[in-house]
Amino acid sequence: MEAVESVLNEKNSLEPTHYKPGSPDVSSPNHQDDRIPSEDIEGGNIEQAAKPAEQDSNEHIIDEKSQKNVDYLVENGELKLELPDTLEHEDFSKLLEFDEKNDDDLFATHEILQHAIQEANSESHDIEHLNSDLSRQMSLNDEDDDDENNDENPDSSKLGVHEEISRPKLNDYKSHTEGHNDHEMHVKEETLSPKRTLTDIDHQKNLSAHDVLTNGDAAKNNDDEDQFNLKTEPEPTAAHILESGRFSQPKRHDSLTPVMFQQHELMSTAIQDSNRQVPKEGSKQESLSLADEQPTISAYARLDFQSFTFYVQTLHVIIGRRSENDFSHKVDVNLGPSKSISRRHAQIFYNFGTGRFEVSIIGKNGAFVDDIFVERGNTVPLRNKTKVQIGQVPFQFVLPEQENAEQPQKSPEIPEPSEDQEPVSPVKSEEQSARPSVPPVEKKQPKKPAPKKEKKPTKVPKKVYTLDEIPEEYRTKPTCSYSALLTTCIRKYSSPKGMSLSEIYAGIRELFPYYKYCPDGWQSSVRHNLSLNKSFRKVSKEGKGWLWGLDEGYIAERERLKKKQAEVAAAKAAAAQQKLEQQQQQRAKKATTPGSNDIVHRTDTIPRSNDGKQQSISQTLAANRAADKKPSADDYQRTMKYLQEQLMILTKDRKGLSKQVFASILTQALAMTINQVSQAAKSKGITGNPLTALMNKNPQHLNLILAAAVNAATSKVTNGKVKQLVDMSLITKQAIKPPPTLPVKRPTPSYNGSGNANLSHARPPEGSFDPTSLSRFFQPRQPRVATPPTPSIPRKRSLDKDDESSGSEETSSSEDDDDEDDDDSDDDQDSDDTDDDENDEVGDHKDNEEQSEETAAEGVYE
């Protein structure tokens, strides 16, 4: 308590600088209505009073056209800054180039002056100012979205007392022209300062140690007026505060005395300090015609945006995004609706502990301070002319002291100005920590011990996102390969001249935001791919790099090759399967031979189906039953021949499809048919050659299956452009070439009886066959759920691989082609969904897209 008392007696002061409002008439009476009556505050109603005040009076959209209103508002200090809606993109886009080179231009727009006049204002947030520190601390932990309430509530009670003191009064601003008043105000505020200190101290109690290192120190040292001296600085390093050596303010400022900012001064200083363009001044002059007569505006500092100026008249300013009708949260400086800007993106506040203004980055996208990226949760000091960029909106923090260097320093305490624009280093400097306290004097004279010639800390390390910061859907890496990624990207964004590497990077990030958040390294892979994968070629040279494009020829060739391989694979698969079945049949046959009790025995030898699983008893039995069936090298041949012929018959009408496409369709259809029939039979424990059996027994049905497969394949291959090649409605009536006479007399017994769920429809004669039932065979392939954790984006392996896998072994036959199959599970379960038989919808857009992309992108390095 002693400390508190002493603090209260302190003569620290924090006073705003006085600016001349841009508006001509300043004469209007103070408009205190919107301000929180001190009674309320003192009476402990701060919370109640504060909120309405914030919402109602803090934010007014300035209509540049209604100068009158503006003036009025300005006068009353109510005016809050908000970007004109129209400013949004185009205007901001100019600011994209914010960097040293463009500083001048950026800040040269004449609009600045105009806005300076109109928007000099913001005031109030009384409560907040008081709490600057506290709210800062708190907000650091805040999520972007839950905001102000959290900030203010907790402390408001304590703050209330200080409120009256710290709150700048508009009256004062007006009377400024008479230098004397300044003094008065100054004094007035000094008395208040101590309370702030108290507040700070109080806050400290409530804050976790790590949150308030600086303040904590201050509290300890508050014995005399120097309580805020740098003594407390020693370890000002709250985890969240990053400062560069040069920023380290050796000493704390006992007070922050406001300086009068006069418009004309601003202009001139601006010109000389920042090389601002005269034109700007001119324009400003226009609007500031009354400059001389105008009262000054008290402000601690100001924020120079490209097209307006915001005067920091409170000790706590929230910068963020607010949509037009959203008054749910307070924003002192509205940066527009861009989603890249958080609703509460940053807050500027005066840190009594360090005696300077600081900016805390609250927004999840971080911000740039002097071109250095500062991520959320960090706080950096603000020096004169510190550049800040939030989203795409840059602005400059300007301390009056610097500007009015000529003027007698009213406030030696104001954070030291410095001409240099050295960037803030995210790394804490040794200097700072090493230098416990520096006499106020020091602070002024030597620029800074930091003779750093440092240009810029080499490179800003990319922000490392925590999981929470990454949108859920962008946390997992896309499953598609880089080559697919690149192909897609180039297809989508490239101009005929190609895309530069950086454009490709950007395109990829755009396509897959995952790459916005993931650590760097993928770029290397991208380059590697561009170089090695022949799908990509250099189109033209630009600057130091090339513009990249696709080698469509190569890609087409690749595709063709792939299809070919797919065909071969399918054939192989079919052959393999056939062979297998033959073997099984042979064994089964043997098993049935008299005197052999080796049925059981055989069960051991045959037992494994291709998938390596133990054959079930029923399978074994089925195999045994089929044992007497004639081995079927012939069958196989015959069946294949039949299928091929039927395919040709069914697809007489090629609907203009190219040979290549057509071949692909046939291949896939054949593969589908074989796999599905075989699989269905297998799943029922049927051995033998179900295809042959079906062919023999019910060719009509087989044709239906074939037709459905053709349509599915067609839709798939053509990406839905052609839905069906075969008219299913006619298929049953279509002339069917009779199956070749069989050397084998009887149809596969095994198939005969039981049939399987899928084939069961075949039992009844053609007439009763419901083609719809086939649709389930050819459902569009679902993205493989099996592929573990990585979801959001499609599967990864290329088409050809899938094709191959389809044929490889029966195990996989069940899930054969990625593209054509549907999972087994589907077979039995959602057999009769609403699919139309004929148009088995093959894949949704995405599926198709991906497929084609992947297909095209199929990357082969050599």
Q: Contact positions toward DNA, by CB under 7 A?
A: 458-459, 477, 480-483, 500-502, 505, 521-522, 524-525, 527-533, 538, 543-546, 548, 796-798, 801-802, 804-805, 808, 858-862
Q: Could you tell me the smallest distance in angstroms from the CB atom of residue 261 to DNA?
A: 37
Q: Could you tell me the smallest distance in angstroms from the CB atom of residue 484 to DNA?
A: 7
Q: Could you tell me the smallest distance in angstroms from the CB atom of residue 554 to DNA?
A: 12
> 10 Å Cβ neighbour count for 347?
25
Q: Could you tell me the smallest distance in angstroms from the CB atom of residue 540 to DNA?
A: 10
Q: Could you tell me the smallest distance in angstroms from the CB atom of residue 502 to DNA?
A: 4
**Is the Cβ–Cβ distance between 79 and 170 less than 8 Å?**
no
How far apart, in whole angstroms, are the C-alpha atoms of residue 71 and residue 77?
10
* Beta-ladder partners of 299: 17, 259
Q: Compare residues 348 and 485 and give the one whose CB is closer to DNA.
A: 485
Place of tokens 């109603």: 45
* Beta-ladder partners of 338: none
Q: Could you tell me the smallest distance in angstroms from the CB atom of residue 532 to DNA?
A: 5
Q: Compare residues 83 and 480 and give the one whose CB is closer to DNA.
A: 480
**Is the Cβ–Cβ distance between 314 and 130 less than 8 Å?**
no
Q: Compare residues 496 and 543 and give the one whose CB is closer to DNA.
A: 543
Q: Compare residues 278 and 561 and give the one whose CB is closer to DNA.
A: 561
Q: Could you tell me the smallest distance in angstroms from the CB atom of residue 481 to DNA?
A: 3
Q: Could you tell me the smallest distance in angstroms from the CB atom of residue 784 to DNA?
A: 10
Burial class (CB in 10 A: 0-12, 13-18, 19+), 3: middle
Q: Is the dihedral of CA 850, 851, 852, 855 positive or negative?
A: positive
Q: Could you tell me the smallest distance in angstroms from the CB atom of residue 538 to DNA?
A: 6
CA 824-828-831 angle, 5° bins: 110
Burial class (CB in 10 A: 0-12, 13-18, 19+), 364: buried
Dihedrals phi, psi of 480, to nearest 5 degrees = -80, 155
Q: Compare residues 468 and 862 and give the one whose CB is closer to DNA.
A: 862
Q: Could you tell me the smallest distance in angstroms from the CB atom of residue 382 to DNA?
A: 24
How far apart, in whole angstroms, are the C-alpha atoms of residue 632 and residue 640?
12
Q: Could you tell me the smallest distance in angstroms from the CB atom of residue 92 to DNA?
A: 23
Q: Compare residues 531 and 614 and give the one whose CB is closer to DNA.
A: 531
Q: Could you tell me the smallest distance in angstroms from the CB atom of residue 273 to DNA?
A: 28
How far apart, in whole angstroms, are the C-alpha atoms of residue 55 and residue 330?
6
Q: Could you tell me the smallest distance in angstroms from the CB atom of residue 488 to DNA?
A: 12
Helices (H), 58-106: 67-75, 88-95, 103-106
How far apart, in whole angstroms, are the C-alpha atoms of residue 681 and residue 674?
11
**Is the Cβ–Cβ distance between 397 and 357 less than 8 Å?**
yes
For 239, the token pair is: 């985890």
> 10 Å Cβ neighbour count for 602?
20
For 372, the token pair is: 């250095």
Pairing of strands 333-334, 81-82: parallel
Helices (H), 288-364: none
Helices (H), 82-228: 88-95, 103-106, 110-119, 126-141, 148-166, 170-175, 179-206, 213-221
Q: Compare residues 635 and 820 and give the one whose CB is closer to DNA.
A: 820
Q: Could you tell me the smallest distance in angstroms from the CB atom of residue 821 to DNA?
A: 13
For 124, the token pair is: 């109030």
Place of tokens 């054939």: 571
Q: Compare residues 126 and 802 and give the one whose CB is closer to DNA.
A: 802
For 279, the token pair is: 């034109």
How far apart, in whole angstroms, are the C-alpha atoms of residue 262 and residue 542?
49
Q: Could you tell me the smallest distance in angstroms from the CB atom of residue 631 to DNA?
A: 28
- The answer for residues whose C-beta is within 8 angstroms of residue 688's C-beta and 6 or more apart is 581, 584, 585, 622, 623, 626, 629, 681, 748, 749, 750, 751
Q: Compare residues 16 and 859 and give the one whose CB is closer to DNA.
A: 859
CA 286 to chain centre: 44
Residue 757, amino acid: A
Q: Strand order of the sheet with strand 393-398?
A: 309-312, 301-305, 393-398, 386-390, 367-369, 372-374
Q: Could you tell me the smallest distance in angstroms from the CB atom of residue 859 to DNA?
A: 3
Q: Compare residues 62 and 799 and give the one whose CB is closer to DNA.
A: 799
SS3 state at 109: coil
Q: Compare residues 521 and 612 and give the one whose CB is closer to DNA.
A: 521
How far apart, in whole angstroms, are the C-alpha atoms of residue 95 and residue 393?
6
Q: Could you tell me the smallest distance in angstroms from the CB atom of residue 419 to DNA?
A: 24
Q: Compare residues 460 and 649 and give the one whose CB is closer to DNA.
A: 460
How far apart, in whole angstroms, are the C-alpha atoms of residue 815 and residue 781?
9
How far apart, in whole angstroms, are the C-alpha atoms of residue 591 and residue 603?
9
Q: Compare residues 425 and 773 and give the one whose CB is closer to DNA.
A: 425
Q: Compare residues 411 and 806 and give the one whose CB is closer to DNA.
A: 806
Q: Compare residues 27 and 502 and give the one whose CB is closer to DNA.
A: 502
User: Among 717, 429, 698, which Cα is nearest to 560's?
Assistant: 717
CA end-to-end span of the chain: 79
**Tally: H helices and E strands in the chain:** 35, 18
How far apart, in whole angstroms, are the C-alpha atoms of residue 727 and residue 742?
29
Q: Compare residues 533 and 715 and give the one whose CB is closer to DNA.
A: 533
- The answer for residues whose C-beta is within 8 angstroms of residue 146's C-beta and 6 or more apart is none
For 365, the token pair is: 């996208």
Q: Compare residues 821 and 858 and give the one whose CB is closer to DNA.
A: 858
Q: Could you tell me the smallest distance in angstroms from the CB atom of residue 694 to DNA?
A: 28
How far apart, in whole angstroms, are the C-alpha atoms of residue 23 and residue 647?
85
Q: Compare residues 78 and 858 and give the one whose CB is closer to DNA.
A: 858
Residue 754, amino acid: S
